[in-house]
Structure 1
Amino acid sequence: MRQVSRVSKVLFCAIAAASFSVSALAQNWPNSTVTVVVPWPPGGPSDIAARPIAKRLTEDLGQPFVIDNRGGGGGNIGSAAVARAPADGNTLLITSSAPIVINPSLYKKMAFDPSKDLVPITNLLRVPLVLVAHPSVPANNLKELIAYIKTQPQFSYASAGNGTPQHMTGELFKSVTKLDITHVPYKGSAPAISDLLGGHVPIMFDSMIAIMPHIKSGKVKVIAVSGAKRSPLIPDVPTFAESGLPAVVSYAWYGFFAPAGTPKPLVAKINAETLKIMKEPAFQKILADTGSDYVGDTPENFAKFVKEESVKWAKVVKESGATVD
C-alpha cells in the first residue's frame, strides 16, 4: 500500500508540475520576439489583417511581433514552416483560407496536414467575393450573364491563382450552373484585374478588398456578391442566392493559427488579446472597409468553422476535377 501511495504521490507531483509549467508559459508569454508568418508576398490581402494585429500585439504585450512574408506553393511553404515550429507561441500564422481548407484537396502532396499540425486561434476577416465583368459583356445581371455564356463557343474566367478562394468560387459557380468555362489563373489579383480591365478576359471572381476601387470607378460591371447577404459596400448588388443560385455562397477568410500542441491556456491568451484588438475602432474600420462582418470567435468555434469549410471545398474540388500538380 505504501508503494502504491508513493507512486500516486509521484504521479500527482508530475501532473502538478506539468500543469504549473503550462500555466507559467501562458502567463509569461511573450518573453521574446514573436514571428507571425504570412505565407504570401508582401502587400496581399492577408497583410490587411496581419499587420495591424501584429502592431497592436507589440504595443499591448511589450515584445516585438514581426511579420514574416514567406510566399510560395499556394501558401503551403510558409504554413508548413509554422506547422513544424515549436509549440511555444513564438511562431504564429496568419493566412487566407487556401492552405488550410482548399490545398489539402487540391494538391496531391502536402508537407503538412492543417487539420493535425495547426491549431485555430480565431477568424480575423471574412470577405465576400464578387463576380465582375468587363463593360463589353452584354449582361447586367446573373441571369443575362448565364444566358450569354451559353451562346459562346468559348468562355473564360480569371482568378488570382490556382487554389485561391477566387478560383474555387469560380469552380463552385461552374458546378452549380453546369457551364463550360475555362479557368485562367494569374499570379495574384493585380494582374488578373489588369487583364479584365483590358478586355483580355470577360469576367473574374475576386474579393472586395482588391476589386472595390474599380467597382467605384465604374470600370467593371458587378454581377453578384457571394455572401449570404448583401454587402453594405455595394448594397444595390444582389447575392447569388437572390439571383437564383442559393448554393453559391463563398468567402475569402483570413485566420490566426498556432502550431499543434500549443498549450490551451496559451491559445486562449492569444485569442483574448486578439479579440480585444478586433473590437477596437481601428480594426472595426478595417472590417467596414473590406466588407467583413466581425468574425472574432473562440478557438473551438473557429475550429468547427474550419472543419466545415474543409468539407465544403473538398466537395467542390472533387466535382470540378481541379488540380495543381
Structure 2
Amino acid sequence: MQRRQFLTSAAAATALHAHPGFAQARPPAGPVKILVGFSAGGGTDILARIIANRLNQLWATPVIVENRPGAAGLIAAAEAARAAPDGQTLMMGHINALGIAPALNPRLGFSPERDFSAIALVGQTPQVLVASPKASATMQGLLAALKQKPGEVSFGSSGTGSAQHLALALFEQTAAVSALHIPYKGASNVMTDLLGGQIDYAFEGMTTAAPFIKGGKVHAVAQTGVKRAKAFAEIPTVAEQGYSGFNASIWFGLVGPARMPADLVARINADVNRILAMPDVVAKLEEFGAEDGGGTPQRFDAFMRDERAKWARLIQARGIRVEG
C-alpha cells in the first residue's frame, strides 16, 4: 500500500509540474464525447468510461462515451480525425487503429501521424497466451507440439491483422516456429471454440481472458508484457520463458483531432494524469492488467510512433495482408 501511495503521489506531482500553464487553460467548453471503436463492455470501453466519469467530475461538464464499433476501431478513428479541434470530441485510441492499421492499409482515410493530437497514454495491458483444456498448459509442451507438428497447432485470433494475430506472428518469428492461424470475427467466438477444444491456443486480451482463467476454464501459458501484470503475477511472461525482450501488449490512450490548442491538450493531459494517480483508479485499472499509463503528450506521441514502426516491420517481414 505504501508503494502504491508513493507511486500515485509521484504521478500527481508529474502531472502538476509537466505543464505549469495548465491551470490557466479551461477544459473543453461544453459536452464532451469520447469515441470508442468497439462495443460496450470491452477493454477500450471500460477504460474510456473510467476516464469519462472522472473528467465529468473534474470539469463539471458532461463527458459521455459513444461507441462506434466496426472495422477494428477504424470507424471511430475516422470520425475523430474529422472532428473540430475544440476538445469536445476525443477518442480512446487503441493499438489496432493507431498502431497496426497504417501498415496493413495505406488507404485508411486518415493519418495517425497527421490527423490526431496525442493527449495521454492511459494504459498498457499484456495479452495472455491461453490453452484449451485439451492442449498443453506449459510453454515447453507448446513448443514441443509446434516442433513435432509444424503448421498444425491451431491459434485463434480476433481477425487477420488484429493485435492478437500479430502477437502470434511475433511469437512465431521469435521462437522460429510455425502455427496454424485461424481468424475469427471477434474475441467471443475465439473463446467459445477454445473452450470447446476446436482450437488449441490463442493470444487474447487480459480483459477478455481473465474471467476464463480465474474460472479454471482455460490454462494461462504466458503473458506478453515486458513484466508481469500485478493482478496476474502468477503468470510468467514469454520473455521469462526464453524469449528476452518479447512484448506484444495492447495499449490505450486518449487522443483528439489534430490542431488542438497546445494549452488545451496540456490541460486535458494534466487532468488525465491526475485521474490515473487516484488510488481507486489505479486499483481498478490493475484489475484489468492496465498499467504504465500517464506522462506527457510527447511521451505518448513518441510511444505511438515506435509502435507503428515495430508492427510495420513485423507485418512486412511476415507478409501479412488483409483482404478487401
Alignment correspondent of 2:221: 223
Measure the CA separation in 2 of the matches of 1:144 and 1:53.
Answer: 41
| SS across alignment from 2:225 | coil
Deviation at 1:216, TM superposition (A): 1.4
> 2: distance between equivalents of 1:301 and 1:264?
15
1:76 aligns with 2:74: yes
Alpha-carbon distance between aligned partners in 2 of 1:77 and 1:235, rounded to the nearest angstrom: 35
Whose RCO is larger (CA < 8 A, sep 6+)? Answer: 2
**Which residue, 187, 194, 197 being the options, matches 2:195?**
197
User: Which residue of 50, 53, 59 corresponds with 2:51?
Assistant: 53
Aligned equivalents of 2:207 and 2:240: distance in 1? 22
Query: Which residue is equivalent to 1:265?
Result: 263
**SS of the residue 1:71 aligns to:** coil
Q: Select between 274-283 and 231-240 the one with higher mean Cα deviation.
A: 231-240
AA in 2 matched with 1:228 = V
Alignment of 1:90-239 (within 5 A): 90-137=88-135, 139-152=136-149, 154-239=152-237
- The answer on whether the counterparts of 1:287 and 1:294 sit within 8 Å (CA) in structure 2 is no
Structure 1 residue matching 2:241: 3-state secondary structure: coil
Q: Specify the alignment match of 1:302 in structure 2.
A: 300
Alpha-carbon distance in structure 1 between the residues aligned to 2:114 and 2:281: 30
* Match of residue 285 from structure 1: 283
For residue 233 of structure 1, report the CA deviation from its aligned partner: 2.6
Q: What amino acid sits opposite 1:144 in the alignment?
A: G
User: Given that residues 175 and 319 in structure 1 are in contact (C-alpha distance below 8 angstroms), is that contact kept between their aligned partners in structure 2?
Assistant: no
Contact 1:214/1:220, CA 8 A, preserved across alignment:
yes
Structure 2 residue runs of 5 or longer lacking an equivalent are: 1-20
Aligned to 1:17: none
The Cα of 1:294 is off from its aligned counterpart by 3.7
Where 1:109 maps in the other structure, the secondary structure is coil
Identity within the alignment, %: 35
- Residue 227 of structure 1 deviates from its aligned partner by 1.2
Which one is further off, 67-76 or 260-269?
67-76
- Once the two structures are superposed, residues 24-80 of structure 1 have per-residue CA deviations (whole angstroms, 9 ceiling, x without a partner) of 9x7343221112111112222101110121111112212111211111122111101
Query: Secondary structure of the residue that 2:134 maps to in structure 1?
Result: coil
Structure 1 residue 174 displacement after superposition:
1.4
Distance between the aligned counterparts of 1:319 and 1:88, measured in 2? 40
Name the SS for the 1:277 alignment partner: helix
Q: In structure 2, how many angstroms separate the alpha carbons of the residues matched to 1:239 and 1:292? A: 15
8 A contact 2:42–2:207 mirrored in 1: no
Structure 2 residue identity aligned to 1:197: L
CA distance in 2, matches of 1:212, 1:157: 18
Distance 2:320 2:154 in 1: 15
Structure 1, unmatched stretches of 5+, are: 1-22
TM-score (norm 2): 0.88
Residue aligning to 1:85: 83
1:246 to partner: Cα distance: 1.8
Which of 317, 320, 324 is the aligned partner of 2:318?
Answer: 320
The answer to whether 1:62 aligns with 2:42 is no
For each residue in 1:162-185, what CA deviation from the matched residue of structure 2 results, as whole angstroms up to 9, or x when unmatched? 332211111111122232222222
The equivalent residue for 1:4 is none
CA distance in 2, matches of 1:190, 1:304: 33
Contact 2:226 2:245 in 1 (8 A): no
Root mean square deviation, CA, Å: 1.8
Residue 42 to residue 140, structure 1, CA distance change in 2 (3 Å):
closer
Displacement of 1:230? 2.2
Aligned residues: 301
Question: Is residue 189–residue 206 contact of structure 1 (8 Å, CA) maintained in 2?
Answer: yes
Give, as a single letter, the amino acid of the residue that structure 1 aligns with 2:107: K
Larger radius of gyration: 1
Contact 2:223 2:236 in 1 (8 A): yes
Aligned equivalents of 1:50, 1:230: Cα separation in 2: 23
Q: Tell me the amino acid that sits aligned with residue 90 of structure 2.
A: L
Normalised by the size of structure 1, how large is the TM-score? 0.88
Q: How far off its partner does 1:247 sit? A: 4.2
Equivalent-residue separation in structure 2 for 1:95 and 1:164 (angstroms)? 15
Contact 1:119 1:258 in 2 (8 A): yes
In 1, Cα distance between equivalents of 2:270 and 2:245: 34
Aligned residues of 2:26 and 2:264 also touching (Cα < 8 A): no
